[in-house]
Amino acid sequence: MIAAQDGIKKVAMTTNGYRLEKNAQQWRDAGLTNINVSVDSLDPRMFHQITGENKFHQVMRGIDAAFDAGFEQVKVNAVLLKNLNSGELPAFLNWIKDRPIQLRFIELMQTGDMDSLFEQHHQSGVSVRNHLIANGWIMKVRDQSDGPAEVYCHPDYQGEIGLIMPYKKDFCSSCNRLRVSALGKLHMCLFGDYGVDLRDLLQDNAQEEALVARIQGELLNKKQSHFLDQGHTGMTPHLASIGG
């Protein structure tokens, strides 16, 4: 239904991949154009430890099914965690050598419920970037679909690397992300202190003009920083609570 709307050119979904093998073709036929799969480790035991689910091989089959269904590129999200999977960078790079995967390393972000975990496992994205540059990776010209990622390519690799480094200076300067939660609230930032209620206007088709006006009015209040570098993590207890 979304894909059939005029002006919608890209419909993407982020998934843990547990049902991807079964549903990839159906989703593609329904109009899904892009897919992001979370894979935090290529070691089945570490995957189980991080996710709490022993489904590594199931997810890998799902990624293969996505390519078979006609997705030209699959984005894979991974959070490198110090003392857990941070030593897997060479394995990840080898994995995408002959696969059209854009592997996105997302730097661990601090939220209200995870101060101690952040202190134990935060791995700087800048260290990953320095490793890539030292080994011949080159940053690509920013594409409209890159969002907050710096994308790197290498002449010997079919895949790409995207780095999302929220603690990098001016990370928020080009932010174009808005989120509507399952509770019907508009969130300007993953780490904001509040959400703007849209449910009353979403439930009435006659309120379209009022809905547009409310969103546009709130956009004027969108901050230019997430303030993570100042130790302010907002009201979000964890990223799963807002959709990540």
139-186 tens-digit pLDDT: 998 776 666 788 999 999 999 999 987 767 776 677 777 888 888 888
Q: In this structure, which amino acid lies at residue 76?
A: V
CATH number of the domain enclosing 115: 3.20.20.70
Q: Closest Cα to residue 222, out of 162, 173, 152? A: 173
Answer for the pair 123, 82: CB distance below 8 angstroms, yes or no.
Answer: yes
Examine the pLDDT at 56 and tell me if it is beyond 70. Answer: yes
pLDDT at position 193 is 61
pLDDT at position 159 is 95
17 and 74 part of one domain: yes
Domain boundary among 138, 172, 206: 172
135 and 180 part of one domain: no
Domain boundary among 172, 203, 226: 172
160 and 180 part of one domain: no
81 DSSP 8-state letter: B
- Please report whether residue 2 resides in a domain: no
- Please report whether residue 3 resides in a domain: no
- Please report whether residue 208 resides in a domain: yes
Q: CA-CA distance, 83 to 31, in Å (whole number)?
A: 40
> How is the chain split among helix, strand and coil, in percent rounded to 5?
35, 15, 45
Mean pLDDT of 65-72: 95
232 and 140 part of one domain: no
26 and 103 part of one domain: yes
Q: Count CA atoms closer than 13 A to 135's CA, side-chain side.
A: 16
Answer for the pair 96, 137: CB distance below 8 angstroms, yes or no.
Answer: no
99 and 160 part of one domain: yes
What is the span of the domain harbouring residue 207?
Answer: 175-241
Mean pLDDT of 103-130: 79
Q: Which percentage of the chain shows pLDDT scores above 70? A: 84
Q: Which percentage of the chain shows pLDDT scores above 90? A: 51
Examine the pLDDT at 85 and tell me if it is beyond 60. Answer: yes
73 and 157 part of one domain: yes
- Please report whether residue 214 resides in a domain: yes
pLDDT at position 213 is 93
Q: Tell me the pLDDT tens digit for each residue of 21-54.
A: 999 999 999 999 999 999 999 999 999 999 999 9
pLDDT at position 66 is 97
pLDDT at position 6 is 93
- Please report whether residue 122 resides in a domain: yes
pLDDT at position 73 is 85
80 and 189 part of one domain: no
Residue reference for tokens 């995870």: 114
- Please report whether residue 88 resides in a domain: yes
Answer for the pair 128, 89: CB distance below 8 angstroms, yes or no.
Answer: yes
Query: Helix, strand, or coil here: 8?
Result: coil
Q: Any bridge partners for residue 76, and if so which?
A: 37, 103
Torsion 38-43-46-52 (CA) sign: positive
109 and 213 part of one domain: no
- Please report whether residue 5 resides in a domain: no
Domain count, the chain: 2
- Please report whether residue 1 resides in a domain: no
Whether this model's pTM surpasses 0.85? no
Examine the pLDDT at 202 and tell me if it is beyond 70. Answer: yes
- The values of phi and psi at residue 228, to 5°, are -60, -35
168 and 49 part of one domain: yes
Q: Tell me the pLDDT tens digit for each residue of 117-147.
A: 777 787 778 888 999 999 999 999 877 666 6
Average pLDDT, the chain: 85
72 and 158 part of one domain: yes
97 and 209 part of one domain: no
Domain boundary among 172, 204, 219: 172
